[in-house]
Amino acid sequence: MIEDSFIETHVTRNGGKKVAARMFSIVALCTVIVAINIFGVAMFGTYALYITLMLSVTLAFGFVFFFKRSYTEYEMEISNDNVNVAKILGQSSRVDLMDFSIKDCIYIGPVTDDRYKEDAGNTDIKLVITEKKDYPIEEDIWYMIYKEENYQCMLIFDFKPEMYKVFRRFNPRNVAFYKAPVKTEKPEESENNEEA
C-alpha cells in the first residue's frame, strides 16, 4: 500500500525596503498626530483636545489595519499529487492563488536548468513564492509549469529535498534529475571512530 504524502511550507517575504518604508510611515504618523493635537489646541484651546485625540486614535487604527494588510505570507501545500498555493494577508485572510495536480505539470526542475529561461519566456502567469521577490538563480529554487485552460502557469518556490520523492512518484517523466547532497564525516570524527 502506498502511503499518503503531505508537505507544507510557509514563506514570509523578506524585504529591506519594506522595513525602511514601515519605519518612515511610523515616524510620519507620529508627526502627524502630534501636529494635529498641537494645532487643534493652539487654534481652539483645550476644547478641541477631545476631537483631535479622537482623530489621532482613528488615524492610528487605520495605520495598524493597513500595516497588517501589508504583511504577506505564502503557503504551499502538497497533498499527494495536489498542489495548493495561498497568500495570507495580515495573518488573517487567506486567498487561494493556484490549485493543480503534479500529474498535469509539463516540467518540474531547478531554475538553474538550461530550459528555465525559455520556459519563463513562454509563461502567461508567473507566481514567485520565495523569501525574496528577486530570487537568486540557485539549485534550491525550483519551478513547476502546468497548463490551465489556455494559459501556461509557472510556480517558483523554495525546494525541499522531501518534495523530490513526491514529484518523481506522480510525474516521473517530467521531473529534472536531483542529486541529493551527500553528508560526509569530518576527518576528526572518522579518526575518533577508528580509535574506538
Q: What pLDDT, on the 0 to 100 scale, is given for residue 167? A: 94
Q: Which of 18-22, 78-82, 177-181 has the highest mean pLDDT?
A: 78-82
Q: Does 96 or 23 have the greater pLDDT score?
A: 96
What is the predicted pLDDT for the residue at 1? 47
Q: Which pLDDT band, with edges at 50, 70 and 90, does 189 fall under?
A: low
Among 176, 170, 172, which Cα is nearest to 143's? Answer: 176
Share of the chain above pLDDT 70, in %: 83
DSSP for 15-74 reads -HHHHHHHHHHHHHHHHHHHHHHHHHHHHHGGGGHHHHHHHHHHHHHHHHHHHHHT-EEE
- Averaged pLDDT, 82-89: 91
Cβ(123)–Cβ(152) below 8 Å? yes
81-89 mean pLDDT: 91
Instruction: List, for residues 136-164, the tens digit of each pLDDT value.
Output: 888 899 999 999 888 999 999 999 999 99
The per-residue pLDDT for 192 is 53
> Does pLDDT of 112 surpass 60?
yes
- Average pLDDT for residues 90-106, to the nearest whole number? 88
Q: Rounded to an integer, what is the distance from CA 180 to the centroid of its chain?
A: 24
Q: What is the pLDDT of residues 2-52, one digit of tens each?
A: 678 889 998 887 555 566 677 777 788 888 888 888 888 788 877 777 888
Residues 6+ apart with CB under 8 A from 156: 111, 126, 127, 128, 129, 130, 135, 141, 142, 143
Average pLDDT rounded to a whole number, residues 87-113 = 89
Rounded distance between C-alpha atoms, residue 40 and residue 140, angstroms? 57
Range scoring the smallest mean pLDDT among 69-78, 121-130, 151-160, 167-176: 69-78
C-alpha cell at 74: 505564502
Strands 151-158 and 125-129 come out as parallel
pTM of the model: 0.68
Contact between 114 and 155 under an 8 Å Cβ cutoff? The reply is no
Grid coordinates given for 118: 525559455
From 157, 121, 163, 126, select the one nearest 142 (Cα to Cα).
Answer: 157
Of 127, 132, 156, which is closest to residue 142 (Cα–Cα)?
156
Q: At residue 196, does pLDDT exceed 80? A: no
Separation CA 144–CA 111 (nearest Å):
10
